[in-house]
Chain A
Amino acid sequence: MDWGALHAILGGVNKHSTSIGKIWLTVLFVFRVMILVVAAERVWGDEQQDFICNTLQPGCKNVCYDHFFPISHIRLWALQLIFVSTPALLVVMHVAYTRQEKKRHFRNSEKINIEELKNEKIHIQGALWWTYTSSIFFRIVFEAIFMYAFYYMYDGYQMPRLVKCNAWPCPNTVDCFVSRPTEKTTFTIFMLAVSGICILLNLAELCYLVIKVCVRERRKST
């Protein structure tokens, strides 16, 4: 059970997405999940081991590390990716529910090819439009919340080289050195940039859906 499971779950969403939605899904898996797994996890792998404080006082290093890194960047990113992917499940559930209803309706009236029903493309209109739009809205909200959480927790997006710590049991103010600060800053900015691109894609998809519905309504009224 790993990121592959998320890929399997979201694969079903791909069929019912707009083109922008498909691009968003690709960007999510290629530039966020893949980068997290193959590169970022290695950079943060030795973060506590190589967090060094200029003191021999036992426990000081642990306490300082915990004070400056309440939750590691890697864990926050993993949570962000999961929360941001989950609204898409609303669409999957809605489509499954619609298919179930159709199957039940046809079972009562006449026989129908089950395979045909499974592969029938469901258009984004009516109730599905509302579900789809709400899922995009929630995605944008979750992305924004996590970006703000990063900014708030770490006072910006830069990883400092040196932090001064005077939490108990450190004897006085002690210098503590973070491992690989420049590499971590680079990856933080990269992930931030890709989050920004994902937010823009979601906004574009939202505008596209709203415009599509307005055009359809105008055509119906004329």
Chain B
Amino acid sequence: MSWGFLRDLLSGVNKYSTGIGRIWIAIVFIFRLLVYVVAAENVWKYEHDEFECNTKQPGCENVCFDHFFPVSHIRLWALQLIIVSTPSLLVVFHVAYRESREKRHNQKLYSSPGKMDGGLLCAYLVSLVLKAGFEIVFLVLFYKLYNGFRVPRLVKCDMRPCPNAVDCYISKPTEKMIFLYFLVATSGVCIVLNVSELSYLIFKYSIKCYMKTFSEKQQ
């Protein structure tokens, strides 16, 4: 029970998505989830063990590591993946609600419970706004916590019990930086996809609404 659960959840949403939505799901699976599991996790695996400070003072390394990495990059990445995927559940819940309503009243209330109109369209639009919003929040969080997306090679630490300012060396800084930039790039692409899907849906349904009122007026 781990990332497979998230994958099954998102596959369920695929049925009710637009074309752009399906591209978004594919990008999340391949360029974010898969990259996280097969590559990124291993880069940060021994980050604490390989964090070395130029001192023999016990406890200094622990304290300096905690000071420079309050929450590890890889944990923030995992949280981002989970939280950004969750708004899609709104769509799943809405479709389940429609199907249960049809069953309860024993009649066809919707041409198809998965057709994008009215309530389902609202739920879908809200989920898109939330997805884009959460992506931006996490990018800002990364930026603020680590003063940008750079990973320095050396940090100077003078927290107690370190005797004075001590040099501490981070393991694999360049590799971590590359993966961080990759994360930022894929987040950016996902934000662009969400915003374009939002504009496309709003545009499509405004045109539909306008054509309907125009043809009603003509009659």
Contacts and interface: CB of A to CB of B under 8 A. Distances in A.
Nearest to B3: A38
B48 interface: yes
A38 B78 contact: yes
B75 A43 contact: yes
B143 interface: no
Interface stretch (A47-55, A103-111, A126-134, A210-218): A47-55
B75 A42 contact: yes
Interface of A: 2-4, 6-7, 19, 22-23, 26, 29-31, 33-35, 37-39, 42-43, 46, 50, 52-55, 121, 161-162, 175-183, 186-187
A35 B82 contact: yes
Interface in B53-102: 57-59, 61-63, 65-66, 69-72, 74-75, 78-79, 82, 86, 89, 93, 96-97
B48 A39 contact: no
Chain A residues touching B, majority SS: helix
Contact of A175 (B5, B59, B66, B79): B59
A23 B93 CA distance: 9
27 contacts: A3-B1, A6-B1, A26-B89, A29-B5, A30-B5, A30-B6, A31-B82, A33-B1, A34-B2, A34-B5, A38-B82, A39-B78, A42-B75, A46-B48, A54-B59, A54-B161, A162-B59, A175-B59, A175-B161, A177-B58, A179-B62, A179-B66, A180-B48, A180-B65, A182-B66, A182-B71, A187-B75
Interface of B: 1-3, 5-6, 9, 48-49, 57-59, 61-63, 65-66, 69-72, 74-75, 78-79, 82, 86, 89, 93, 96-97, 103, 161
B3 to A, nearest CB: 7
Q: Is the interface of B mostly helix, strand, loop or mixed?
A: helix
A220 B49 CA distance: 68
Contacts of B69: 180, 183
B5 A7 contact: yes
Nearest to B57: A54
Given A30-B82, A177-B62, A177-B63, A183 B161 contact: no
Given A2-B1, A26-B89, A39-B78, A183 B58 contact: no
Contacts of B63: 161-162, 177
B138 to A, nearest CB: 14
Nearest to A23: B93
Contacts of A55: 58
B5 to A, nearest CB: 6
Contacts of B58: 52-55, 175, 177
Contacts of B97: 19
A208 B78 CA distance: 35
A26 B93 CA distance: 10
Nearest to A186: B71
Contacts of B74: 42
Given A39-B79, A177-B63, A30 B49 contact: no
Contacts of B66: 161, 179-183
A50 to B, nearest CB: 6
Given A38-B3, A180-B48, A30 B86 contact: yes
B159 to A, nearest CB: 9
Nearest to B59: A177
B2 A182 contact: no
B47 to A, nearest CB: 10
Contact of B62 (A22, A42, A50, A121): A50
Q: Which of B3, B9, B66, B89 lies at the interface centre, i.e. has the most chain A CB atoms within 10 A of its CB? A: B66
